[in-house]
Amino acid sequence: MKHILICGKRNSGKTELFERLLKACRMPVYGFQSCITATREDGFHEIHMFAIEDRERRPTEENLIGICNRSERTVNLPVFETLGVSLLEAKPDGILVMDELGFMEAEAPAFVDAVLRRLDGDIPVLATVRAGDLGSDFLDRVRMHPKAALYTVSPEKADALYEELLPVIEEWNEVLQC
């Protein structure tokens, strides 16, 4: 059973596909979701990391992973190394989700190690991976991981990919409920 990695460019539908697949999960889901939480007056976006089960999603300094615009970025590596690593704790009764793996965490060695160890493991992983950043050692290792299958999504392919991946999620449901 391979892990599922959904890759795509910005606005390709990867998060929407990810969320549709999550709704099909009948087992516990662990991990994180990162998202833009605010666009500031100076044009920079704040990006925060949340536990997947956190419904409040309150942005704080403790979960602020970065601030960026199209050409500049500031990454808060200590958040990846503490909160990020703790959210990757694997639990054998469910699946681990990572939305989204990208360039920001590439310089956070404990986080990178935790991601790669989870991909090496047997607990199912559902992740979204940023497209581009070719030559990023971390993202290349994720995308080419031997225990993972990489699916590239586009708006035109999202529904077909959902139909293709749904049986995998259903298989995970059955295996983990035994």
**Would the pTM of this model clear 0.85, i.e. be above it?**
yes
Domain parsing of the chain, residue ranges = 3-34+77-177
Show Cβ contacts of residue 111 under 8 Å, excluding neighbours closer than 6 positions.
80, 81, 84, 85, 88, 105
Distance separating alpha carbons of residues 158 and 84, to the nearest angstrom: 28
Give how far Cα 149 sits from Cα of 56, 68, 109, 124, Å: 32, 30, 23, 12
CATH fold for domain 3-34+77-177: Rossmann fold (3.40.50)
List pLDDT tens digits, range 18-55. 999 999 999 999 999 998 887 888 888 999 999 999 98
Give, in order, the Cα–Cα distances in Å from 171 to each of 37, 68, 159.
34, 39, 19
The 10s digit of each residue's pLDDT in 100-155 is 998 889 899 999 999 999 999 999 999 999 887 655 789 999 999 999 999 999 99
* Cα–Cα distance for residue pair 24/17, rounded to 1 Å: 11
Confidence of residue 11 (pLDDT cuts 50, 70, 90): confident
